Structures are given as structure tokens and as C-alpha cells.
Amino acid sequence: MNRFAPILLLLAAACTGEHESAPAAGAAGEVEITAGAAVADPTAGEPQPPADPSDDDGGEAAAAVVREYYAAIAARDYARAYRLWGDGGAASGKSFEQFRAGFAQTAAVTATVGAPGRVEGAAGSRYVSVPVEVHATTTGGATQCFRGTYTLRRAVVPGATAEQRRWHIASADMQPCAGSPAPGAETGGGGDARRRDPAGAAGGAGESGSAAGGDDGDELAAHAADLVRRFGQRLARVSLLAPAATLREQIRAEYAPLVTPELLESWLADPSTAPGRDVSSPWPDRIEVRDVRRVRPDTVEVTGDVVYVTSVEAGRGGAAHREPVRTTVVRTADGDWRIARFERSRGGR
């Protein structure tokens, strides 16, 4: 779903860049990416993250992955950049060929990587957000600015492989900076400047779900699917077993950026109706989208499965249980796209 333009691509993919510089310890790092430029080692003399961060639970190791992502794009090593997304690149929402093609219209990018947030735990995983600001230029000379965050994930369950224990990009949430042209604005190169899936774009329209010119059917479908997938990544962080007051806090913190105010208020009024983790195991790990259908200009229906896992599947892959789900995504009065309805079919398979 993030199916917007290469320039956005820039964003989530940290864009199409080509040269990165790591920040000094405790400071934000600015990465300049210019098509065709060589990748320099900007971190000489500075403290470096572990060579293999597979067992490093710190946020700085996650930020290092974002910088590595930029470096790979800068070197045009798209295969390496793609693998830095979770699930072997699948978390980007694109095939490798789509991912690579998303950088075709990118000429230059300057990205500033900020200090990572606090590492949080959820159902056998660790999550951390890394803020990024990107200034991009297309091959046609158009410039845009995007600001947002990457969310990275690593597995910590017993039996997880070294690869699974490494930080990988789980999603990207990038939106146009104030005053910046919308992603659908002229890009100069004829490219889809609205391409925003986490794989090379602005991370899919951002957590708020802004569809930036998303009247294109394919782009809108991709965005809606990405929104639902990102929602699915938060389900395990809401414990339905928690005391009511704590549960309401979790619902507001995790779901407010992605759902309509009306849906949020209904869950806060009756937390038992909200989705989340209702047993210790298996727990909801993700939502796998099966179909996306636009039913009205401002409404999209997304069907799929909530995938539940135990410590076994969390470490080796697969699903312990699947629960069919139907989600309605709508455009709100302020132009954002959010989840307005979330319906589960109990029983699953």
C-alpha cells in the first residue's frame, strides 16, 4: 500500500539517496543522498554501533540500521536495502522489483536521522521508533520535504535466529512537511511522486493516514492496505487483560493515530469491544491483507487475517491461528484516511 511515488520512496526508503553520514553520539545524523554519488564513511573517529547488532537491544543499534539503509541506497545496492525491511523485504509492502523501480525518478536526498525513542516490548518482540526528516529532489528538479519516523522491530523469543534478532524496518510513517508540495505535485520526471509504501516512499501516508493526492485507485488501495497492516502491528501492544484504566490508556496510545475519533471513543467507552491481546499465547502478531476494494470515493474495504503466533512461530515463522477480519478505511473531513470499522470473524482457522 504505500504505493505512492518514488520521491516518497525516498522517504520511507529513506529515499533514493546516495551518501550518508552518521550522527555524533547523542546527536541527529544528516545523510545526503545524490544519485550516482559514492558512499563515504562519515563515522570515522566516532563511536560505532556493534558490528553485529543481532543481540543489541538498544535504540542506537536500530538507528544504525536506518543509516545502513541509506548507505545501501546510496550505493545502489537495492537488494541489501530491501533486506533491511522485515520478513526479507516483504514488510515494505512491495516486491523487490517494485522496490527498486521506485527509485528511478530520484535525483538527490538529504536526510536527518534523529535520536531513537525508547525501546518497547510486546509479545516476544522489541520495537523502537527513529525520527527522520527528508528533503528530496526528483530528476525533474521538483523538491519536497517529508518528516516522520521509521518503526523497527526485532524478535527476542527463545529459538529466534540471529537474523530474526536483528533490528529490521517494520514500517515507515512519513508526511509532507508544513508548506511542502503534496506528494502528488509535479515531480518533473513523470514519476509517481505519491508512492509511499514503507518500501520506498513516505512510509505509506503516515500514521495519520494522509493519502496525499490519493485519488488514484491503485495508490489508494495500497495505502489502505498499509494502514491496516500497521494497525495489525499494534494489536499485541494492547492487553485486554489489563485493568480498565490501563487498557484505555493503551487503546488511546496505540490506536488513536490510525482510527477515526468515533471508533476510538466507542472502544474507550467499552474496552471489551476493542481488538488486542486477550490471552498470553497465542497473541496477534500482524494482519495479512488478502483483498482491497474501493466501495465509494471516500471508502475502502480491506479484508484479511489477523495472524496469531506463539513463541514457536515468532521464532521460526508461520501462524498458530488465523482470524478473518474486515476493515473499513474512510477519508475524514480533514483529508486523512483512517480505520472506521474493524470486524472480526471468531473461530478462524
Range of the domain at 106: 6-229
Number of neighbours of residue 339 by Cβ within 10 angstroms: 22
Distances (CA, A) of 81 to 28, 70, 89, 109, 316: 21, 8, 8, 16, 23
Give φ, ψ of 99 to 5 degrees.
-60, -50
**Is 326 a domain residue?**
no
Say what the pLDDT of residue 182 is: 52
**Is 126 a domain residue?**
yes
Say what the pLDDT of residue 206 is: 34
* Prediction pTM value: 0.52
**Is 23 a domain residue?**
yes
**Is 147 a domain residue?**
yes
**Is 217 a domain residue?**
yes
**Is 64 a domain residue?**
yes
**Is 299 a domain residue?**
no
* C-alpha grid cell, residue 184: 502528488
Say what the pLDDT of residue 46 is: 41
Could you tell me which residues come within 8 angstroms of residue 93 by beta carbon, excluding any fewer than 6 positions away?
1, 2, 3, 197, 198, 199, 204, 222, 225, 226, 229
As beta bridge partners, residue 133 has 112, 147
Question: Mean pLDDT of residues grouped by 10 in the chain (349 residues)?
Answer: 42 39 40 43 41 59 88 82 88 84 78 87 80 82 85 85 89 76 40 35 36 52 86 92 92 92 95 93 91 91 94 82 95 87 77
**Is 190 a domain residue?**
yes
Say what the pLDDT of residue 326 is: 96
Say what the pLDDT of residue 347 is: 59
As beta bridge partners, residue 168 has 153
Whole-number Å distance between alpha carbons of 91 and 61: 19
- Count of domains forming the chain: 1
